[in-house]
Chain A
């Protein structure tokens, strides 16, 4: 009975740790900054954080967001 309770406690801890990792990844790792440009011909250019395009455009987007909330 005692061993079963220990096992249950261990499994609960593992479950909590796993849920924590999933939540952390969703909030901070999966959400990367990016900028999408849509053109009139229907084409799309997407710049992920770290690319040249994003390096120029993302700071300006941050400025827009900051200015809108000031």
Chain B
């Protein structure tokens, strides 16, 4: 993998301030990686994001974008920002227009896209966040969670190469949070580099490959999450917590004299590791596009009536709204957990997620559970 961003000895102080909010920070973000940016409030996460988008120019050190130092000129910044989309923690800070669809169109129109292309992107983005029925609504009539989804749609419509999400799930209900994580995963599979900052350590532990821990304006740790969480004193000093999966795994393994690795990160991996599962239930994996999903559903379910069904991904969820689906959200983990229990299921997913499904099966195999899976 090649680097997309690199910070070299970067320090930043707010004008008129005395404290270095970023204090000699060194960080490399690899292209196409799944990144968690973690730290206590005030550690410097948001400042880092503004530095990566060129809003803040550090007083010391250099920020490299694709190997070249960021140029703080009008053209340089426009180039940078056409690649990077940011979803701010507070959606009200990035709402520009009064109507939902106008607001989502704001970015693409600013990129100089024509009306037709913009309209297509807006429609797709609104559907991905389940806000299509609200397209013509004034933003001020929406709830906080709904405004958050509009802000996410606005970022999606930019088709960015790098997506920075600052607390994307704060204030969203659990299902909406799952949808956001599905979207983040989809962006990752499309080749987008995704950076997520969040206080929801349990959600992010399931998803991220790399955790970058910020403490007092410096990078305290950068690498797989377990390397950081294995050092409880540092975790505590950084004002963070360890994910519940990590804690439970560590305690059980210590008590039973087992190796903590491989580390379970979600429910199916945890139950596979500790439940002594016998025969795997079968998961029929059906990758589909929006257009052919209903037909595939009918064909597959013809012989499988009564088997538990789940959907993963916004296209398939949308296409199968009027079908009988048992698990609408978090279906991948739920179906694999079912398989651990010996229960069969059919998992319909947006075709793009095929590598994610395979990755899940591989992780279970590493734990010693050979999942019975058929890909259609």
A binds B: no
Using a CB–CB cutoff of 8 Å, the interface residues on chain B facing chain A are none
